[in-house]
């Protein structure tokens, strides 16, 4: 049986992964990113890639999936930031 | 002995926690947050609070610390976004 805390952990993973989607959408739609910190997204992307490595080492599919998706989303924001300033 | 992958996981946790600092600083300094998605930070803060609960359940001090700090930083961005628009 799935424990309540496992469900909380699962919802946490989904929320902290998908949270980037509205930022990707907003930046793409407005084509402006002046108030966004490039440093934040470079550091975040680097950290997420290390989480991904760690997840691969642990053979944890939820960690691998969550960090692969977050990695794509944060890298998209890095590209938008460079493109739209 | 500490495993290489444990060190990678530790660095990952530090980076994904401290990544918010340059965004907090930039928003505070420029007093503008027009390009920042409020939805992103509300969803991220909610997800981080669930990670914190999960970390308390697992009795994991690194998870508790990382999510407590990330929670404070993302909530600060939420407040800045509401204040500076």
Write down all domains in chain A, each with its CATH number in brackets.
Answer: 4-84 (1.20.1280.290)
Residues from chain B that touch A60, judged by Cβ atoms under 8 A, are none
- A28-61 residue pLDDT tens: 999 999 999 999 999 999 999 999 999 999 999 8
DSSP state of A34: T
Supply the DSSP string of B1-31, one letter for each residue: ---HHHHHHHHHHHHHHHTHHHHHHHHHHH-
Residues of A in contact with B31 (CB under 8 A): none
Please write the tens of the pLDDT for every residue from B32-74.
999 999 999 999 999 999 999 999 999 998 899 999 999 999 9
pLDDT on residue B52? 96
A23: nearest CB among B32, B34, B40: B40
Label residues A33-72 b or e (16+ Cβ within 10 Å = b): bebbbbebbbbbbbbbbbbbbbbeeeeeeebbebbbbbbe
């Amino acid at each position: 049986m799935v424990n309540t805390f496992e469900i909380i952990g699962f919802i946490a993973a989904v929320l902290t992964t998908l949270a980037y989607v509205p930022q990707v959408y907003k930046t793409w739609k407005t084509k402006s990113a002046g108030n966004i910190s490039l440093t934040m997204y470079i550091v975040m992307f680097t950290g997420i890639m290390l989480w991904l490595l760690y997840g691969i080492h642990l053979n944890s599919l939820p960690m691998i999936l969550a960090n692969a998706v977050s990695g794509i989303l944060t890298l998209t924001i890095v590209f938008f930031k460079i493109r739209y300033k």
